[in-house]
Amino acid sequence: MSPPKVVGLDHVAVTAPHELEDEVVSWYRTVLGLEQVDKPPEAGVAGAWLRAGDQEVHISTDPQNPPQKPHFCLIVDDFDGAVDALRAASCHIEQASAIPGRRRFFTRDPAGNRLEIAAWGDG
């Protein structure tokens, strides 16, 4: 039997300690410009769901620290503008190894979740 064909990405889930929940949700909204959407009641009251293009980022609370290497990638239309916005928000920019056809770097949200930010093109 062959594996199912993956047709897209629905959402990515990240965690934050309960005491950082508001700060993390605010960071995704104000620094990255994601739109908060209503969660179904079955999803619980903690955390938030946010739109990232046609996909979503789900933030839930968890007292454990996030692992160091797992991440998700957001594609942006203005690479230099994204760098400037994150630096203005006092976010660390971690250089990433070059991949032909895209520019990219890593950063972390206030709870330590790792994000790759990328734009298509070399320039």
| CATH code assigned at 113 | 3.10.180.10
Residue 6 belongs to a domain:
no
The pLDDT assigned to 43 comes to 80
Q: Is the pLDDT of residue 123 over 80?
A: no
The pLDDT assigned to 67 comes to 60
Residue 5 belongs to a domain:
no
3-class DSSP state of 14: strand
**Total number of domains in the chain:** 1
Q: What percent of the chain has pLDDT over 70?
A: 89
Residue 82 belongs to a domain:
yes
Taking the model in full, what pTM does it have?
0.75
Mean pLDDT score, 55-83: 83
27 or 39, greater pLDDT = 27
What residues form DSSP beta bridges with 107? 115
The pLDDT assigned to 61 comes to 86
Per the structure, the complete domain to which residue 69 belongs is given by 11-120
Residue 97 belongs to a domain:
yes
18-51 b/e (C-beta count within 10 Å ≥ 16 → b): eebbeebbebbeebbebeeeeeeeeeeeebbbbe
Q: Is the pLDDT of residue 46 over 60?
A: yes
pLDDT tens for each residue of 77-105: 889 999 999 999 999 999 988 888 889 99
Residue 87 belongs to a domain:
yes
Place of tokens 């839930």: 60
Q: Is the pLDDT of residue 62 over 90?
A: no
The side-by-side arrangement of strands in the sheet containing 11-16 is 11-16, 55-61, 48-52, 35-37
